[in-house]
């Protein structure tokens, strides 16, 4: 019994050191299958890694083998840096794989019961279940950001008449719907320049980021007597980064993170 605590600490340290997003998705999927909650620090770190490489993550084979609860969270994030065509295509591929591996379905397990299929003879078939899953996923897709060819050839048959009309109205008249479809996912900004002038006895630099920023690069060597970072809630990670951080003797080449 006395070996359990060291083993637990070793496992915790191992989870903290994972860098490869494929392994991260695998561990998150295994945890989801077991209903095992990851520690907040590990959870935050994993999602940061996923977002920093979101385009690669969505395009990867690992995404197709990810648990549905994780996929559902990804689709809701504004911070995903991926074009909507790729996202939709990979969602189709994910649903096709998941219906053959029901342990991956998660929140989409009851999709066939909660969404009305277009053809009654599809009941109980893999095609019908895939269509039902995609109808649920469609709530988080920005259809106005899809290419016209993909939308009219592949996506349109899955939507309601009202949804199709709104997207058609956007494509033809450029009238934005109140829904999120017409808004592209901005992704993450990995660096922003900080422009400042020395000011003796006052604030040497004042900077308000325009979007999500995980790193700040200063263009030249500077002397700091103190640095104060204030985090306000915004989007998914805002709730995790609330509060204020004060640093002294700050290195200008340091990495800023939540």
Q: Do 39 and 65 touch, CB atoms closer than 8 A?
A: no
**The pTM of the whole model exceeds 0.85:** no
**Of the residues 115, 141, 173, the one at which a domain ends:** 173
Give yes or no for residue 21 having a pLDDT over 70: yes
Say if residue 120 is in the same domain as residue 234.
Answer: no
Domain count of the fold of the chain: 2
pLDDT class for 88, splitting at 50, 70, 90? very high
Q: Is residue 69 assigned to a domain?
A: yes
Please give the pLDDT value at position 167.
Answer: 82
Residue 182 maps to a domain: no
Q: Is the pLDDT of residue 138 over 80?
A: yes
Distances (CA, A) of 85 to 54, 117, 146: 14, 23, 5
Shared domain check, 257 and 153: no
- The region of weakest confidence among 89-93, 122-126, 133-137, 143-147 is 122-126
pLDDT at 122 over 80: no
Q: Are 190 and 215 contacting, i.e. CB atoms less than 8 angstroms apart?
A: yes
- Residue 245 DSSP SS3: strand
Whether 127 and 97 share a structural domain: yes
Contacts of residue 168, Cβ cutoff 8 Å, sequence gap at least 6: none
pLDDT at 178 over 90: no
Residue 59 pLDDT more than 60? yes
Distance CA 93, CA 105 (A): 13
The predicted pLDDT at position 121 comes to: 46
Work out the pLDDT band at 231, boundaries 50, 70, 90: low
pLDDT of residue 245: 41
**Percentage of residues of the chain with pLDDT beyond 70:** 54
Token pair 């907040």: residue: 40
- Domain span at residue 231 reads 189-258
What is the spatial distance between Cα 185 and Cα 82, in angstroms, rounded to a whole number? 7
The mean pLDDT value for 122-142 works out to 79
180: in domain: no
End-to-end, the C-alpha distance of the chain in Å comes to 36
Last residue of a domain, one of 111, 140, 173: 173
Question: Are residues 23 and 65 located together in one domain of the fold?
Answer: yes
212, 188 contact by CB (below 8 A): yes
Answer whether residue 184 is part of any domain: no
If asked whether residues 144 and 207 sit together in one domain, one would say: no
Pair 103, 210 in one domain? no
Residue 167 and residue 198 in one domain: no
Say whether both 118 and 236 belong to one domain.
Answer: no
Beta strands per DSSP E along the chain: 192-193, 216-217, 227-231, 243-247
Q: Is the pLDDT of residue 143 over 80?
A: yes
If asked whether residues 166 and 195 sit together in one domain, one would say: no
pLDDT band at 148 (very low <50, low <70, confident <90, very high): confident
Give a yes or no: residue 139 inside a domain.
yes
> Quick one: pLDDT at residue 87?
94
Does the residue 11 lie in any domain? yes
Are residues 232 and 257 both part of a single domain? yes
Same domain, 74 and 161: yes
What number of other Cβ atoms are within 10 A of residue 76's Cβ? 10
Are 203 and 162 in the same domain? no
pLDDT above 70 for 179: no
- Indicate whether 19 pLDDT > 60: yes
């Amino acid at each position: 019994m006395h070996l359990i605590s060291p083993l637990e600490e070793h496992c915790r340290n191992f989870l903290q050191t994972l860098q490869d997003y494929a392994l991260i998705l695998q561990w998150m999927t295994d945890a989801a299958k077991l209903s095992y909650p990851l520690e907040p620090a590990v959870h935050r770190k994993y999602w940061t890694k996923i977002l920093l490489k979101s385009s690669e993550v969505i395009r990867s084979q690992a995404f197709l083998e990810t648990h549905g609860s994780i996929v559902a969270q990804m689709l809701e994030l504004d911070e995903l840096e991926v074009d909507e065509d790729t996202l939709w295509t990979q969602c189709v591929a994910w649903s096709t794989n998941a219906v053959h591996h029901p342990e991956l379905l998660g929140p989409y397990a009851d999709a066939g019961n909660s969404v009305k299929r277009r053809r009654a003879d599809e009941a109980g078939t893999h095609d019908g279940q895939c269509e039902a899953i995609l109808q649920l996923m469609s709530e988080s897709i920005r259809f106005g950001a899809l290419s016209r060819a993909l939308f009219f050839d592949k996506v349109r048959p899955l939507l309601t008449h009202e949804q199709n009309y709104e997207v058609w109205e956007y494509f033809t008249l450029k009238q934005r719907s109140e829904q999120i479809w017409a808004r592209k996912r901005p992704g993450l900004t990995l660096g922003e320049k900080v422009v400042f002038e020395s000011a003796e006895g006052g604030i040497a630099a004042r900077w308000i980021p325009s979007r999500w920023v995980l790193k700040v690069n200063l263009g030249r060597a500077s002397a700091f007597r103190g640095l104060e970072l204030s985090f306000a809630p915004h989007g998914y990670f805002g709730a995790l980064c609330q509060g204020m951080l004060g640093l002294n003797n700050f290195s200008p080449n340091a990495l800023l993170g939540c």
